[in-house]
Amino acid sequence: MDLTKLTTERRNTKTMHLDELSSLEILTIMNEEDNNVAKAIKNELSDIDVVVQEIIKSFNKDGRLIYMGAGTSGRLGILDAAECVPTFGTNPEMVQGFIAGGEKAMTVAVEGAEDSKELAINDLKSINLNENDIVIGIAASGRTPYVIGALEYATSVNATTATIACNKNAEISKFAQFPIEVDAGPEILTGSTRLKAGTSQKLVLNMLSTASMIGIGKVYKNLMVDVKATNKKLVERSKRIIMEATDCDYNIAEQTFNEANQDVKLAIVMILTGSNKETAMLRLKEGKGFIKNSI
C-alpha cells in the first residue's frame, strides 16, 4: 500500500516547522488552510448535484439514504443522519449512518474494523438493503476496505452507489456510480484527516442532505416546516416558523399549531388556505408534501 500518492498523507510545505510556531501562528495557518476547503468543494458542485438528484429519486421510491464510513468519516455520516430526524421530521430509518466497528467505534477506535469488507456487508444485510436505496461511501483516503465492501454489496442488490473521497482518483470511486472527490490539499498536521478532510466531508454531507430534503418538500421558502417539536425550544421555534410563513400573530400560530397536532407544515397550509385540518391534509397529499403546491 503506497500512501505517498495520497494528498491526504502528504506533508504540507507551509507547516514543516509547526511545532515551533506560536498558537496564534498555528491558528492563522489553520484558518488559511480551511479557506481552501470551500474552494475545493466549489469545483465539485456539479458532481454533488448529481448525487443530490439520485438521493431524491431514492426518496421518491420510498428508498433510504445510507452512509458508510470508518473513523471520522463514519462518525460524520452518523451525525448527518441523526440530525435529519429533528430538522426534517424524517423517521430514523430514512437516513442512516454506519461506522466500521459499530456503536463502540463512535467513541473509541476498533482495531481492524475498517479493513473488513464483511462487516460492511453484514451491516447492510441487517437493514435489508434493496434497489430503492442509495449507499454513500465516505473515506478521506478513498481506499477504506469497509467502504469498498459496502459499495460492492450495494451494487449486487442494484442499490444506487455514490462516494465522498478527499483524494483524486480515489480507489472507492471505482466502485461507485456517482463519485465525489474533494481535494483540499495536505493537512497542516500530516495525515490528520479529521481536519480539512473532515471539514470537506461535513460540508458535502450538509449539502447532500439539505438539498435532498428541499427536493422532497420538507422546506417552504427557507423555513424548516417539517421540524418536530420535541422540546420547549422547538415548540417555540415551530410557532415562529408558522408566523414567518403566514404573517399571522403569535396567538393564531399557537392555536393552529395545536389544532394541527403540532404539525408545522399542516398548520401553515391551514392558515394560508383558510381550511380545516382535514382539508389541509388533503391539499398536502395532492401537493405531494410541498406547501407551494398545496396553497
Give percent of the chain with pLDDT exceeding 90. 93
Find how far residue 34's CA is from the centre of its chain. Answer: 20
d(CA 116, CA 144): 9
Question: Per-residue pLDDT tens for 167-189?
Answer: 999 999 999 999 999 999 999 99
Question: Per-residue pLDDT tens for 66-119?
Answer: 999 999 999 999 999 999 999 999 999 999 999 999 999 999 888 788 999 999
- DSSP assignment string, 151-196: HHHHHHTT-EEEEEESSTT-GGGGG-SEEEE------SSTT-TTTH
d(CA 159, CA 171): 19
Query: Which residues are registered as beta bridge partners of 220?
Result: 223
Mean pLDDT, rounded, for 225-252: 95
Sign, Cα dihedral of 121, 123, 127, 131? negative
With cell 454531507, the residue in question is 205
Q: Residue 143 has what DSSP assignment?
A: -
Q: Provide the pLDDT for residue 215.
A: 98
Query: Which residues are registered as beta bridge partners of 101?
Result: none
Mean pLDDT of the chain: 95
CA angle 89, 93, 95 (to 5 degrees): 70
The model's pTM is 0.94
Which residues are known to be catalytic? Answer: 83, 114
Number of helices (H) and strands (E) in the chain: give both, helices first: 10, 5
Q: Which long-range contacts (CB under 8 A, 24 or more apart) does 43-48 make?
A: 43/182, 44/180, 44/181, 44/182, 44/204, 47/178, 47/179, 47/180, 47/181, 48/180, 48/204, 48/207, 48/208
Q: Which helix (H) or strand (E) holds 98?
A: strand 95-99
Question: Per-residue pLDDT tens for 109-159?
Answer: 887 889 999 999 999 999 999 999 999 999 999 999 999 999 999 999 999
d(CA 254, CA 167): 50
